[in-house]
Chain A
Amino acid sequence: MSLEMFFQHCFNALTLGSLYALIAIGYTMVYGVLRLINFAHGDILMVGAYFVFFGTFAFGWPWGVSAIVAVAGASLLGVLVERVAYRPLREAPRISALISAIAVSFFIESLAVVVFTGQPRPVLQPDWLISEWQLGNIRVLKLTAFVPVMTAVLVAGLLYILYRTKPGLAMRAISKDIETTRLMGVRVDNIIAFTFAVGSALAAASGIMWALRYPQVHPYMGIMPGLKAFVAAVVGGIGSVQGAVIGGVILGFVEIMSIAFFPELSGYRDAFAFIILVLVLVFKPTGLLGEDLKEKI
């Protein structure tokens, strides 16, 4: 493989990894506050992508406006899911909430098939994103550079919220001790809703960029990215935002590089993520940056 090709693959891997990272953050944040794997998370991504499709095609809005509306819409959907499907089960055994999450996931997918039909739809790609830069012998699609940069900006914004604002402080406190956090005057339900809003917004951002990169939307488009991002969150250590970002990037690199070096295995590209999941669960179940899962006494 030529060096140019290798760099080309690196760019692709970073882009794919960024998309996984943005989704993985939502899994890890929700797990942090509720100890719940929100299996409907991938479907929020799909809804976000559909909002952009409708914004640009059906209403003819500029691309940027559609994206903002889509992110806001997906945020609201995330909050609604929490309110309807998880909050009533706050005191129930954890397995009930998990079952509810799977049900919500199927519900959103089926509803999407009914409302949007199962037919894949093309997505408008703005010209400025699909033009290319020529760097020596490497050609870089602007979109390929845009995705990691946008991801970095969003992650920086998230870290600012987490470490420099009151709701962020409350989120970090809730992840360790809900009762004490309530004693300090934190309205825990509001913070949990806020967590869903932020996580869903990031998933929608990822979904929109996903739809630009593989320019179509369909009702099941969220499943595979969602599952792989979940793997990324586990690899990085579920509960850790930084871990989710690292896990996402690792997964992107493994997927792209394994196909690049072993093209004959490309039919198995989706399997690599899950092989990694198995290996992590066997050798380091808490993930790279995860804390010990010591139960509170």
Chain B
Amino acid sequence: MADTMLQIKDLHVNYGGICAVQGVNLSIERGSIVTLVGANGAGKSSIIRSIAGLNREVKGDILFSRKHGDAPESILGLRPENMVRRGISLSPEGRRILPHLTVEENLSLGAYSRNDREGIEEDREKVYTLFPRLRERSWQKGGTLSGGEQQMLAVGRALMSRPDLIMLDEPSLGLAPLLVKEIFGIITRIHETGVTVLLVEQNAYAALNVADYAYILEVGRIALEGTGKELLSNPQVRSAYLGG
């Protein structure tokens, strides 16, 4: 039987009078990498922000079961500061690291919801192992990092809450091809530690390559879904998103 961690039922999101999401159903299996792919304005970010509690005008339902065996609970309407305590962490679009705080402080902020000192130290060590460059720059202000380093910091910060579900909004945006490859390598490594990943991407090729399951969004609706491999070989997808 399938072990569903997150299930979205008939989600509608209004965003400044516009229906950004119109009746989306999707589910995320525990331990998988799921990706939402689509053009700008297709509603990817609106979905991910609704899960994180950042959108107000949301209809439908979002059910979440944190650990294997937990009964699914509705998390729609919870505040963002409570989501992270329930094991859902978001690395937002545009990185949104705090430029005036040091790398170390940015990571501490990521662990704000926790009080287990040793556990936090352990996770900080894990993040520094995953991103050695952050360790080198730990006393530097976030704003002085390069774009790639800032993205690593944003992902590292999202890991500091020790999430069960990590959501990454456009982690490859604006990065050089080599860095994109590095980021996707890291997403795979995070997934291997047992964290479920929801990935929003415009870079459809890279995203479909790492994803167990994928949804393709077009103007607020799911146009196609399937395993990453299926969609990669789908001619429709190839012509629309993968450049032929």
Contact = CB atoms under 8 A, between A and B. Distances in A.
Interface residues of A, number: 18
Given A183-B52, A183-B84, A184-B161, A170 B98 contact: no
A182 B108 CA distance: 14
Interface string A173-213: 10011011111111110000000000000000000000000
Interface string A70-91: 0000000000000000000000
A166 interface: yes
B161 A180 contact: no
| Of listed A176, A183, A185, A186, residue having the most chain B CB within 10 A | A183
| Of listed A177, A182, A186, A187, residue having the most chain B CB within 10 A | A182
Contacts of B84: 183-185
A183 B80 contact: yes
A103 interface: no
A227 B162 CA distance: 47
B97 to A, nearest CB: 8
8 contacts: A166-B112, A172-B101, A181-B98, A183-B54, A183-B92, A184-B109, A184-B113, A186-B112
A114 B60 CA distance: 54
Given A169-B101, A183-B84, A185-B85, 7 more contacts: A169-B108, A170-B112, A172-B98, A172-B100, A177-B98, A182-B79, A184-B84
Contacts of A291: 100
A78 B110 CA distance: 29
Q: Which 6 A-B pairs have the closest CB atoms?
A: A185-B113, A185-B84, A180-B96, A182-B80, A185-B112, A184-B109
B109 A176 contact: no
Nearest to B97: A180
Contacts of B157: 184
B99 interface: yes
Contact of A187 (B81, B96, B99, B101): B81
B161 A185 contact: yes
Nearest to B82: A185
Nearest to A186: B112
Given A169-B108, A185-B112, A180 B81 contact: no
B99 A176 contact: yes
A103 to B, nearest CB: 28
Interface in A139-192: 166, 169-170, 172-173, 176-177, 179-188
A92 to B, nearest CB: 15
Interface in A12-49: none
B221 to A, nearest CB: 27
Contacts of B85: 185
B90 interface: yes
A188 B81 CA distance: 8
A134 B178 CA distance: 72
Contacts of B79: 182
Contact of B109 (A170, A179, A187, A188): A170
Interface string B77-117: 00111111100001010001011110001001110110000
B54 A180 contact: no
A182 B101 CA distance: 16
A286 B105 CA distance: 26
Contacts of A183: 52, 54, 80-81, 83-84, 90, 92
A41 B110 CA distance: 33
Contacts of A181: 98, 109
Contacts of A182: 79-81
Contacts of A184: 81, 84, 109-110, 112-113, 157, 161
A181 B101 CA distance: 12
B81 A185 contact: yes
Interface in A267-297: 291
A180 B112 contact: no
A182 B92 CA distance: 12
Interface string A81-117: 0000000000000000000000000000000000000
Nearest to A180: B96
A173 B98 contact: yes
Contacts of B161: 184-185
A181 B52 CA distance: 13
B98 A176 contact: yes
Nearest to B89: A183
Nearest to B108: A169
A1 B85 CA distance: 65
A179 B98 contact: no
